[in-house]
Chain A
Amino acid sequence: MLNGSTQKLTSNSQVAEIKSGKFMKELKKNKVLLIMLMPAVIYFFLFCYIPMGGVILAFKNYNYSAGIFGSPFVGISNFKYFFLSGKAFEVTKNTVLYNVAFIIVNTTLQVGMAILISEVSKKTFKKFAQSAMFLPYFISWVVVSVIAYNLLNAGNGAINSILSSIGISKINFYDKPGAWPFILVFASAWKSIGYGTVIYLAAITGIDTEIYEAAKIDGANIFQRIFKITIPCLKPTVVILTLLAIGGIFRGDFQMFYQLIGNDGVLYHATDVIDTFTFRSLIQSGEVGMSAAAGLYQSVFCFITIMVTNYLVKRYDSEQSLF
């Protein structure tokens, strides 16, 4: 590397010459490495960077024959349409509130279960419980939606057959928007509890057992040991994982919302997130411009929240920050 003072002494053309010489040398030296990188470089260019450039669609009136770049510009009318429809506020609110609920409920449950598992001494029971909890992580959201249908549908759902057998009238859940925040939070917790528990359990295993023994000798009971040792020791992991989750707060879990709600219009105002809204506008109503505008709006917010949370992570623990 040239240092600052020599760079100032040489003229611009010389710098360029040295730089290009260095460039060619690097190129030659790393020929094989660069060839090995090419598949990934091309992949991300095709599937990430070109679509990134495609966000100009949000400012265009797309027509199929003209393509992405040939379609005429229409300024910000797509955004106007999106915001004036009243949908923008509703789907943003739903996305953020659901994610906040998921973060709070899932983190609490996962930390709680990890602590319980770590205190159980019987190995076989431990293994059984952990395997059972991890099972939902293993299946697709399609199967989860079948399970939800089995439990919840109005005519013959399992919950309704229990209700009617004890003399309570049946509830049509797919007709009751108010029930869905609870159902969705439950579904999210159900699917992710095994996964999260494993991560927190790993953090607990890392705690020095001598601390526990010392506390025990000093007369601390098990509840004091959990609240005074385990939970404070887990705090860094919880803070980091929560911050990372907050980074994705504007991104709805499309697979979950789409599979559980489907195209049930009655539930939209309680359950529609940005991702499902964008998808429906594109695939079902063919409103390409507005849908692209909603997508860009979401991407910008995601970018900002990730930058902010990463800054916070960096301040909290620079080792853990993503960049």
Chain B
Amino acid sequence: MKKTLDEKVFGLICYIVMTIVALLCLVPFLLVVISSLTDEQEIIKRGFSLFPHKLSLAAYKFALKDPLIIIRAYGVTISVTVLGTLVALLAVSMTSYVLQRKDFAWRNKFSFYIYFTTLFNGGLVPYYIFMIRYLHMKNNLLALILPLMLNAFNIILMRSYLSSIPTALIEAARIDGAGDFQIYWKIILPLAKPALATIGLFIALGYWNDWYSCMLFIDNDKLFTLQYYLYRMVNGAEAMRTISTTAGGKIGSQTALPSEALKMALTVIVTGPILLLYPFVQRYFVSGLTVGAVKQ
């Protein structure tokens, strides 16, 4: 069909507005990358800019002189993310499977028990004190895994997905002599793969970007997650000085430390690898969101 004038005008508006919005979303990332490559003296004199006059790799050299801290933070974050996501998916799917079994008489009671946690919560203080004083979570790796593991929303989402699996399938398996757990493990789990993938991605993103639990419960720097490590480095001049001493610089010789460019370089080092994954997982996020929106 030929485009009429109003459609042409509107099409132009679409392209212009969308280009602007897309640039607004992308340029800040570009700015951080370019800033990390800018000469420190230039940053001090002229400020951060998209078009620097003098480039320098000094910040990266500084940041990677003693890469052990960063590698360790990567290690913590990767293990927490992988372990947490796997266990969470198992727990979410198992719980959702039981709650959608229509022949399970108490499913509404248990659903309410889980659902109620989204309506009311005790707030930060009792949670914090209970975790520290009674569960001894201070400097415990479990403090990074457990808080993000289960929530009612993921269970509701998974349950509505599982309830689309025909009951006849479960009946047939039961007649063939399969037990409740076997039905879950051999039939439901394989069928739930698409939902597991999308919910898993959201859980994994939550773990990867988490700094809050680390701030609350961890003060041993060997257990810092990437995001919290970055937060500490960017916000503490003291932390900056630590890196300059471990990196062989002299205390007090602040001129040698490209601190502004270093903040940006650390951000790139911490975020870069995961952003490379972004193009591959982005469409799963989009499809996952859409499924959730339609299902809910």
Contacts and interface: CB of A to CB of B under 8 A. Distances in A.
A221 B5 CA distance: 9
B124 A134 contact: no
A32 B267 contact: no
A50 B268 CA distance: 40
A246 B180 CA distance: 40
B76 interface: no
A26 interface: yes
A185 interface: no
A138 B205 contact: yes
A84 interface: no
A47 B146 contact: yes
Given A51-B122, A146-B32, A46 B286 contact: no
B290 interface: yes
A190 B112 CA distance: 35
Nearest to B8: A222
Q: Main secondary structure on chain B at its contact with chain A?
A: helix
B26 to A, nearest CB: 5
Given A255-B212, A278-B125, A222 B10 contact: yes
Contacts of B168: none
Given A48-B117, A67-B133, A288-B129, A136 B25 contact: yes
Contacts of B125: 54, 57-58, 278, 282, 288, 291-292, 295
A85 B259 CA distance: 39
B74 interface: no
Interface stretch (B192-200, B241-249, B274-282): B274-282
B64 interface: no
Given A128-B22, A134-B282, A288-B125, A139 B91 contact: no
Contacts of A302: 120
Given A37-B110, A146-B234, A292-B126, A125 B31 contact: no
A303 B119 contact: yes
Given A47-B147, A150-B31, A296-B122, 6 more contacts: A40-B150, A40-B155, A68-B126, A116-B17, A130-B286, A145-B234
28 contacts: A32-B179, A39-B95, A40-B94, A44-B117, A51-B121, A51-B123, A58-B125, A68-B126, A116-B18, A125-B18, A128-B22, A129-B19, A132-B22, A132-B25, A142-B228, A146-B263, A150-B32, A156-B44, A158-B50, A161-B46, A190-B25, A193-B21, A198-B286, A221-B6, A282-B125, A292-B126, A299-B121, A303-B120
Interface of B: 4, 6-7, 10-11, 13-15, 17-19, 21-26, 28-29, 31-32, 35, 43-44, 46-50, 91, 94-95, 97-99, 101, 104-106, 110, 112-115, 117-130, 133-135, 146-147, 149-150, 155, 179-181, 184, 205, 208-212, 216, 227-228, 230-231, 234-235, 260, 263-264, 267, 270-271, 274-275, 278-279, 282, 285-286, 289-290, 293-294, 296
